[in-house]
Amino acid sequence: MNKYCKIAAALLFVTGMYTLPTYAQAKKTAAKPAAKAAVKTAPKTVVDSVSYAVGMDVAKSLASSGVKIQSASFMKGLEDVLQSKTALFGEEEKMRIIKDAFNKAADLKMEALKKEENAFFATLKTKPNVKHLQDGLYYEVIAEGNGPKPTVDDEVNVHYKGTLANGKVFDSSYDRGTPLDLSLARVIRGWQLGIPLMSVGAKYRLYIPSDLGYGERGAGEIPPFSALVFDIELLGIKAKDATN
């Protein structure tokens, strides 16, 4: 389900089951002397608590989507439905407005992320120690090894740390204290290009553009269009099974 549909469903859930008289009363009591302004008023009923909690959840979802919301108009739409007043929009127009707004916000967010990624790689081009492959991978030799080099068909044993362009660590075998055995045929394209450059015993830093990583979807803590930076130590190449 698209994000705007989830928000719409959440709003329908609120409007179908809850009323706001207690919240409206609490809003009036908020305009008190400054000495008491910092004191939070606890919800008085279960319905009040659930209503406030659902409001928090909807607000967080809207904020993360990038869609701009005018709170007075938002509350007007909410109250018109709760009080069975004539709405300004029919169902089809309502869904079109919501869809257009969420699509536009998503496009703007993607443009900003892609611009940030391009700026990151533009800075790498000025660093003399950073090399560039035609496929788009950038890499830096931290230490060379003296063992054999793997192929993309091999299984290898590596220690690694993965960060976003801003330095945030999203994965690290060093933190787990255990190196990883992996098949190069099953990893992201950036690793398939970078690790075969390494000899056993080497340590490289790979700068991987999103189209060689997790692309426009991202993965877990990795946002869409994220440049990835991996420090990788190639510890060994696993022997292939000689049996037929």
The pLDDT tens digits of the residues spanning 140-165 come to 999 999 999 999 999 999 999 999 99
Instruction: Tell me the two tokens of residue 106.
Output: 């998503």
Domains and CATH numbers, the chain: 3-105 (no CATH), 127-237 (3.10.50.40)
pLDDT of the residue at 241: 63
Instruction: Tell me the two tokens of residue 69.
Output: 């919301």
Report the C-alpha gap between 128 and 142 in whole angstroms. Answer: 13
Length of the chain: 244
Instruction: Judge contact between 137 and 197, C-beta under 8 A.
Output: no
pTM for this model (two decimals): 0.66
Which residues are known to be catalytic? 160, 170-171, 188, 214, 230
Pairing mode, strands 228-237 and 203-208: antiparallel
pLDDT of the residue at 146: 93
At 241, give phi and psi (nearest 5°). Answer: -70, 120
In degrees, rounded to 5, the angle at the alpha carbon of residue 34 between the alpha carbons of residues 32 and 38 is 90
Instruction: Judge contact between 208 and 228, C-beta under 8 A.
Output: yes
Compute mean pLDDT per 10 residues along the chain, 244 residues long, and list them. Answer: 48 38 39 52 82 85 81 86 87 90 87 89 92 93 95 96 94 95 95 96 96 89 91 92 52
pLDDT of the residue at 185: 93
Instruction: Judge contact between 197 and 149, C-beta under 8 A.
Output: yes
At 161, give phi and psi (nearest 5°). Answer: -135, 130
User: 159: part of which helix (H) or strand (E)?
Assistant: strand 155-164
Total Cβ atoms within 10 A of residue 204: 21
Q: Which residues, 6 or more positions from 74, have their beta carbon under 8 angstroms from its beta carbon?
A: none
Report the C-alpha gap between 244 and 232 in whole angstroms. Answer: 32
pLDDT of the residue at 53: 87
Q: What letter would DSSP give residue 68?
A: -
The pLDDT tens digits of the residues spanning 215-229 come to 888 888 898 889 999
